[in-house]
């Protein structure tokens, strides 16, 4: 059993509204069991990345947030558990959008979930702007990586026709002036992220390293639309204690455990 996420198998839950079917779900608990999310057994499954991303959003009560690619709603739920705000999620796969709505309801949160492609945002959403936009885009570029066999996981991990630059451009368009965009991604794609932020400033880059002395595998980047502040490369956030995993159970660093178990904010300088 993991300290930040438990898994309870559910053997006969079926969602069947589109061309493919989520046949089995698990009932997963986040933030030390305070939040519960249904997720596919074989599809895309949220783990720690959405939790860290939500923790890095410098939101204030009453503000608005849009998540592009909300999946089953884990990041939105973690953020709403910390800060009461107006929440909207966009998800291209109806099966995951259905789960996101269900997960919001079962955790007593309110969020508007929209089924849409980022390349064809509905008019109603195009007319809205938000204080915050957060995103955890597909990690891999389709030409360089083979697709997972599961359709839902493939859509979540491979960019397809919507590349990383389009994700960032779409997010910036949905922001209010001086609104914040927060993204978590693979460290090797940092250059592409920065290239997409040409209309933003006050950029903060937080490398996420598994252990001291290890290269960062992830980065959280936060940028402000229309701002003129400098780019800041922050000291790495260390996820685990020690040089190697040498004990039963988790070995998260104290701050990582506070975020994963207690929903603490991940403070990045300049908030």
What does pLDDT average to in each consecutive run of 10 residues of the chain (271 residues)?
A: 30 36 84 96 91 98 97 97 98 94 97 93 94 90 53 49 89 97 97 95 97 95 94 96 68 95 88 46
Crossing angle of helices 74-82 and 94-106, in 10° steps, is 30
pLDDT at 12: 29
- Which letter, b or e, does each residue of 188-221 get, where b requires 16 or more Cβ atoms within 10 Å of its Cβ? ebbebbbebbeebbbbbbbbbbeeeeeebebbbb
Residue 10 has a pLDDT of 30
- Residue keyed to tokens 């508007």: 112
Alpha-carbon distance of 140 to 72, in angstroms, equals: 20
Structural domain for 146, as ranges: 46-262
DSSP letter for 50, please. Answer: H
Among 70, 69, 21, 17, residue whose Cα is nearest residue 42: 21
In a domain, 219, yes or no: yes
Q: How far apart are alpha carbons 27 and 140 in whole angstroms?
A: 27
| 175 is a domain residue | yes
Report if residue 5 sits inside a domain: no
In this predicted structure, what is the pLDDT of residue 263?
96
Task: Supply the pLDDT for residue 150.
Answer: 44
Does residue 55 sit within a domain? yes
* Total domains, the chain: 1
In angstroms and rounded to an integer, the radius of gyration of the C-alpha atoms of the chain is 18
Residue 270 lies in a domain: no
Residue at 204 is within a domain:
yes
Output the pLDDT for position 4. Answer: 32
- Tell the burial category of 50 from Cβ atoms under 10 Å away from its Cβ (0-12, 13-18, 19+): buried
Residue 1 domain flag: no
- Give the pLDDT score at 123: 93
Any idea what the CATH number is for the domain that residue 164 is in? 3.40.50.150
């Amino acid at each position: 059993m993991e300290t930040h996420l438990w898994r309870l198998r559910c053997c006969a839950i079926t969602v069947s509204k589109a061309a493919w079917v989520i046949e089995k779900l698990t009932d997963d608990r986040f933030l030390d069991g305070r939040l519960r999310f249904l997720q596919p057994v074989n599809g895309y499954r949220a783990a720690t990345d959405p939790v860290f991303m939500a923790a890095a959003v410098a939101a204030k009560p009453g503000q608005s947030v849009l998540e592009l690619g909300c999946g089953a709603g884990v990041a939105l739920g973690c953020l709403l558990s910390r800060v009461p705000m107006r929440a909207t999620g966009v998800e291209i796969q109806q099966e995951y959008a259905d789960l996101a709505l269900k997960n919001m309801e079962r955790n007593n949160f309110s969020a508007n979930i929209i089924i849409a492609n980022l390349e064809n945002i509905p008019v109603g959403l195009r007319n809205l702007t938000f204080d915050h936009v957060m995103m955890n885009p597909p990690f891999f570029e389709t030409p360089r990586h083979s697709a997972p066999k599961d359709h839902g996981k493939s859509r979540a991990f491979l960019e397809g026709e919507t590349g990383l630059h389009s994700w960032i451009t779409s997010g910036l368009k949905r922001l209010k002036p001086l609104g914040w965009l927060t993204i978590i991604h693979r460290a090797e794609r940092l250059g592409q992220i920065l290239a997409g932020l040409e209309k933003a400033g006050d950029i903060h880059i937080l490398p996420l390293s598994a252990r001291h002395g290890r290269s960062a595998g992830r980065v959280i980047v936060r940028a402000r639309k229309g701002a003129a502040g400098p780019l800041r490369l922050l000291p790495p956030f260390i996820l685990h204690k020690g040089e190697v995993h040498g004990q039963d159970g988790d070995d998260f660093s104290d701050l990582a455990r506070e975020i994963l178990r207690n929903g603490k904010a991940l403070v990045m300088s300049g908030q």
